[in-house]
Amino acid sequence: MRQQIAAANWKMNLTWEQGQQLLKGILDANVTPKQNQAVIIAVPFPYLTAAKEIVEKKAGYFVAAQNCYHKKSGAFTGEVSAEMLKSIGVKYVIIGHSERREYFNETNQQLADKLNLLLENGIVPVFCCGEPLAVREANEQNSYVEQQLVESLFHLTPEQISGIVIAYEPIWAIGTGKTATADQAQEIQAYLRSVLAGKYGKEVAAKIPVLYGGSVKAANAKEIFSNEDVDGGLVGGASLQADEFVKIIEGLK
């Protein structure tokens, strides 16, 4: 079975004191991931080192960064490089989240550059893709998301792409309370996998975890995750509540 992942994205929320309480609540639930499962908690940059010391004492739990810069180093005040994240032992980094694309105008080419730098540094990219409401209403979501994959991922070798995680996030469902139905999630995630198979073959495509991200919560996680091509979730708001996120972890296949 492919790796199944419950990934929390705290975004720009919580003081460190609040974050410690949240981590304590999650870890005290004592949910042990199975061999094919992982729990990833993406915290703000200032908390990475301290959170890592707390979280990674427990098997199957990892801390992630929420972004990195698309250049190796240099005069880019305020930015954080893949090499810096490697130096403090970060194993996962989210890139291409819809908020980064929308508010910071990140392009598919910049994300391709980030992917290259992360892979060079032995870090697993969690690559986000997904369509806005207007594209979904025009029934053009497949071609829209396919273009994101082609322009950001298709320069990778089969070995490289086997080492990434993809998170499909319908932008119209993020933080809106709207959620794609389980059938909608399965339909487009199966399509994403077919696009990968068209480029890299079915065997490679079958190995790549594809997460769903869009108002995942305890009440719907198990149903969404039960789909063949949904390998867990990238969770925003619900990951800020320990009891909610613990139930989401328990919903993994």
To the question of whether residue 237 is assigned a binding role by annotation, the answer is yes
Task: State phi, psi for 120 to the nearest 5 degrees.
Answer: -60, -30
To the question of whether residue 236 is assigned a binding role by annotation, the answer is yes
169 is catalytic: yes
To the question of whether residue 10 is assigned a binding role by annotation, the answer is yes
Give the HSE-up count for residue 20: Cα atoms under 13 Å, Cβ half-sphere.
Answer: 7
70 is catalytic: no
Q: Do 72 and 89 touch, CB atoms closer than 8 A?
A: no
To the question of whether residue 143 is assigned a binding role by annotation, the answer is no
Q: What distance in Å separates the CA atoms of residue 23 and residue 236, rounded to the nearest whole number? A: 15
DSSP string, 90-156: --EEEE--HHHHHHS---HHHHHHHHHHHHHTT-EEEEEE---HHHHHTT-HHHHHHHHHHHHHTTS
To the question of whether residue 215 is assigned a binding role by annotation, the answer is yes
To the question of whether residue 11 is assigned a binding role by annotation, the answer is yes
The catalytically annotated residue of 99, 106, 131, 169 is 169
To the question of whether residue 172 is assigned a binding role by annotation, the answer is no
Q: What distance in Å separates the CA atoms of residue 76 and residue 207, rounded to the nearest whole number? A: 36
Q: What distance in Å separates the CA atoms of residue 177 and residue 187, rounded to the nearest whole number? A: 20
The catalytically annotated residue of 97, 99, 106, 131 is 97
Scanning the chain, the segments in alpha helix (DSSP H) are 16-28, 48-55, 82-87, 98-103, 108-120, 133-137, 141-153, 158-161, 182-200, 202-205, 218-225, 242-250
Question: To which H or E segment does residue 233 belong?
Answer: strand 232-235
Residue set of the binding site: 9-11, 175, 215, 236-237
Residue set of the binding site for substrate: 9-11, 175, 215, 236-237
Residues noted as catalytic: 97, 169
